Amino acid sequence: MEVPLWLALLVVGYLGIKLIRPPAWLIAVLLLGGFLLADSVLAPAIDTFVK
């Protein structure tokens, strides 16, 4: 069974928000920070670190 990545992330994010209940500003900072880092000069360095 293959599950699309976007669906898996959506389910994990929904469960994380429902179970852990982080503050809204923390969610916004993580989403915005991840979006900005993915398009920065640091992206190749992060990519090698993650892999």
Greatest alpha-carbon pair distance for the chain in Å reads 36
Q: Which residue has the tokens 């898996």?
A: 8
Whole-number pLDDT of residue 12: 92
Mean pLDDT of 3-16: 90
Q: Are 27 and 17 in contact (CB under 8 A)?
A: yes
Cα-Cα-Cα-Cα torsion 10, 14, 20, 21, nearest 10 degrees, comes to 120
Pairwise pLDDT comparison (12 vs 46), residue with the higher score: 12
Tell me the per-residue pLDDT of 16-48, one tens digit each, with 9 for 90 and over: 999 999 999 999 999 898 888 888 888 888 888
